[in-house]
């Protein structure tokens, strides 16, 4: 993901619940689901609740598109 995020400052580290709650945008990413926006942080245990069909915000949307293009270039259409 970090390789796809050209021009965006990236840092991989642990976050506390306050940082997650205060974030303007959040997304989850992995090889299987790509980039998925997080709709809210909350619940009794502070779990992340995310929408697979969400469109994301000003940062998440272009990162999701760039990730999908990079994956297609690397793996082909699937």
What is this structure's pTM? Answer: 0.67
Rg of the chain in Å (alpha carbons) = 13
Structure confidence by residue, pLDDT tens digits, 36-50: 888 777 766 666 665
Would you state the torsion angle of the CA atoms of residues 40, 42, 45, 47, taken in this order, to the nearest 10 degrees?
0
Give 7-62 pLDDT, tens digit per residue: 777 778 888 878 887 888 888 888 888 888 887 777 666 666 655 556 678 888 88
64-49-20-56 Cα dihedral, nearest 10 degrees: 30
Return the bridge partners of 9, or none.
Answer: none
Q: Are 38 and 50 in contact (CB under 8 A)?
A: yes
């Amino acid at each position: 993901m970090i390789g796809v995020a050209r021009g965006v400052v990236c840092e991989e580290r642990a976050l506390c619940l306050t940082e997650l709650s205060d974030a303007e945008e959040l997304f989850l990413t992995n090889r299987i689901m790509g980039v998925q926006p997080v709709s809210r942080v909350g619940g009794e245990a502070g779990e992340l609740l995310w929408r697979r069909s969400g469109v994301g915000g000003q940062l998440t949307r272009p990162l999701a598109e760039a990730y999908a293009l990079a994956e297609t270039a690397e793996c082909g259409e699937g």
